[in-house]
Structure 1
Amino acid sequence: MLYFGPVGDEELAEALRVAIGDFVRRARAGDRMPPGQAAVLGHLDREGALSIADLARRERVRHQSMTRTVHLLGDQGRVELRPHEADRRQVVVALTAAGREALAAERRHRSAGIASAIRDDLDDEEREIIRRIPEVLRKLQPKP
Structure 2
Amino acid sequence: MDDYTAADAEQLRLAVGKFVRRVRSADTMPAGQAAVLGHLRRDGPLAIVALAEREQVRHQTMARTVKLLTDQGLVDVSPDPDDRRRVVVTLSARGDARLDAEQAGRAEWIARAAQVALTAHERAVLRRFPAVLDKLIAGSG
Q: Give the TM-score of the pair, scaled to structure 1.
A: 0.88
Equivalent of 2:74 in 54, 71, 78: 78
1:62 maps to 2:58:
yes
Distance in 2 separating the partners of 1:27 and 1:39 = 15
Aligned-residue offset at 1:76:
0.4
Residue equivalent to 1:33: 29
1:119 maps to 2:111:
no
User: What's the CA shift string for 1:16-74, capped at 9, x where partnerless?
Assistant: 11011000011011211011100100111111111111111111111111100000000
1:137 maps to 2:133:
yes
* Corresponding residue pairs, total: 138
Residue equivalent to 1:105: 101
Distance in 1 separating the partners of 2:103 and 2:110 = 11
Secondary structure in structure 2 of the residue aligned to 1:81: strand
Gaps of 5+ in 2: none
Residue equivalent to 1:3: none
Q: Give the TM-score of the pair, scaled to structure 2.
A: 0.90
Query: Percent sequence identity over matched residues?
Result: 51
Residue equivalent to 1:47: 43
Aligned-residue offset at 1:132:
0.7
- By percentage of residues, which structure has more strand? 2
Secondary structure in structure 2 of the residue aligned to 1:140: helix
Residue equivalent to 1:18: 14
Gaps of 5+ in 1: 1-5
